Amino acid sequence: MSVYRLNSRLREPRGLTFIILLLFLLPVLLGFMYVSLEHTRIVYGSDVDLQQAVEDAVRAAAMSVDAVSQAHAVYLIDPDKAHEMLRYTLAYNLGLDPTTLTPQQNTGLVESPSYVLLIYNGNNEYGVSACRKYTSTNPYGTDLVCDEVAFPKEVAIGSDITFGSGELSTVLESPSCVALVEAKMTDIITGENAVVSRWATGRIVSRK
């Protein structure tokens, strides 16, 4: 089709109608693409980035082996070191201040994430805490009473981490760390905050 014939058709009523319709739909189509991309960022960003950060954090925490028990070839988790490693790894992976966990620039988080960290070793003879729970509001931790039989131990994950079964639970077969992290993100289109929770378990596997 020649340029002349194309110009002639655009001058016709049908051509003008098509142009007006295209100009009307273009912002809508672009807006749809933008919303779709933002939805993808929110969904996959929260599912992948936060989940990966929590998994890395509990993995680092579980590697914080107590030196006294290790000297006896028994691998237990040092609770305070594990808690320190969890905070450090979360801060590094999510772009947070390493001391306060407040978001730095371009993190996607609205405020400091909240967390619960359960360190479970079971009763032992090495003076290591059998079970200690840390939270973002209780960074010093609280020792919990454990059963005489250490493993297996089932814990439930909800708004907290507790002993027992639940809609979402996991069974600990060896000294382990269980972390639950909740983060608030802002949708850049609606301006609304979306709260995302992710959890993970890290455990010591000893091959003798």
pLDDT digits (tens, 9 = 90+) for 3-62: 445 455 545 555 556 555 555 555 554 444 444 344 434 444 454 588 999 999 999 999
Write down the mean pLDDT value for the chain. 81
Q: 47: Cβ–Cβ under 8 A, 6 or more apart, which residues?
A: 198
Ranges of residues in the chain with a pLDDT under 50 are: 3-4, 6, 10, 29-45, 47
Question: Side chain identity at 33, as an amino acid letter?
Answer: M
| Amino acid residing at 106 | N
| CA distances from residue 75 to 68, 69, 131, 148, 200 in whole angstroms, order as listed | 9, 6, 15, 18, 20
Are the beta carbons of 176 and 202 closer than 8 angstroms?
A: yes
Cβ atoms of 152 and 146 within 8 Å: the answer is no
Question: Residue 14 has what pLDDT?
Answer: 56
Task: Note the pLDDT of residue 35.
Answer: 44
CA gap 38, 55 in Å, rounded: 24
Q: Left if phi > 0, otherwise alpha if psi is -120 to 50, otherwise beta: which for 74?
A: beta
